[in-house]
Amino acid sequence: MHVVVTYESRTGNTEKAAHLVAAGLHEAGVTVSTFPVDAPDYGALATADAVVVGTWCGGLFFFGQHPGGAGKIAGELPDLWDKATFAFVTYAHNPGKAADKLGEVLEAMGSVNLGVGTIHRNKLEDDAAAFVDSILREFAAT
């Protein structure tokens, strides 16, 4: 199993979360490639069994939440023809439906989005571990 973890991060929280997710998957025996969306490893993307994409939650904190890096993700990553994807956002107070919206962005790029996660910026370790568990459960079920 080979999984790409790619991210768009402004202030570093999503980057840290992405590396925690990658480390958790690696501990479970998954081969992982990790890079920011603006420096894609096309070879890894082509051969990956699944792609995990993370960004930050933008919005007005209690409404209008959206995946902050969606434009950059759609602009920088190649089309994800039939790839399995998982989407996550990091957030400060309330992510709303930002992670679901990121999943929709990935599906618009051609993927089949299998799951979403939200990772609080002050609980990166715990929330990343829960997201990894949800990914591993999905792998076990398919």
Ligand X SMILES: Cc1cc2nc3c(=O)[nH]c(=O)nc-3n(C[C@H](O)[C@H](O)[C@H](O)COP(=O)(O)O)c2cc1C
* Least distance between ligand X and beta carbon 98 (Å): 7
Binding segment toward ligand X, per CB under 6 A, in 8-16, 24-32, 102-110, 128-136: 8-16
Buried b (16+ CB within 10 A) or exposed e, 36-73: bbeebeeebbeebebbbbbbbbbbeeeeebbbbbbeeb
How many residues are listed for the chain in this entry? Answer: 142
* Least distance between ligand X and beta carbon 127 (Å): 11
Asked if 121 is part of the footprint of ligand X (rule: CB under 6 A), the reply reads yes
Size of the site for ligand X (CB under 6 A): 20
Helix (H) or strand (E) run with residue 11 in it = none
Site for ligand X in 69-98 (CB under 6 A): 90-95
